[in-house]
Amino acid sequence: MSNGDAQPTTAAAEQARAGATRGAVQWLWLSFAVIALDQLTKWLIERRLELFDQIELLPVLALKLLYNEGAAFSFLSTASGWQRWLFIALAISISIVIVFWLRRLPAKGQAWLAAALALVAGGALGNVIDRVAHGHVIDFILVHYGAWYFPAFNVADSAITVGAIMLIVDSIFISGKNRKAG
């Protein structure tokens, strides 16, 4: 065997191989940050407000403690309880897929996509914690104008929304552009 055929065993080569197997999972710190912030804000709101209490912050923004047994926009909130387990299973499944997706992403060069995925996973798991612990999701951010009210939401919902928008932007402007160039 010649020297040119030998596998490099340097620390740099080992580190590169380890990075290739882990991919962009280092972005999961963002998921954990979303979960921590989401749970902290929900805990603080529940300590400060009773159910349906409202604190006006701005003419268009209030804090109001609400419990949502459904999904986005209270979808299926009046179902008999089976929806809780459906939403738990769905969120956990999506989060598992995201972790595998992050593992397959290169460790560098895909920061936008990795951050988007981490936000979605963190938001999904933040709401799963509520569903498992309480049987409902704690919502408290209320945007309104006059008699019009947007459905209440929380930090986890915000992370999911921002992550989903980032995924769309990535699909249209970043990854789509890279595919055309390649």
Catalytic: 157?
yes
Q: Which of 38, 53, 130, 139 is catalytic?
A: 139
| Lateral strand order in the sheet of 61-68 | 54-58, 61-68, 137-145, 148-149
Which helix (H) or strand (E) segment holds residue 144: the answer is strand 137-145
The CA distance from 181 to 70, in Å, is 43
The CA distance from 61 to 57, in Å, is 6
Q: Which of 38, 53, 130, 157 is catalytic?
A: 157
Catalytic: 38?
no
3-class DSSP assignment, residue 141:
strand
Catalytic residue positions, numbered: 139, 157
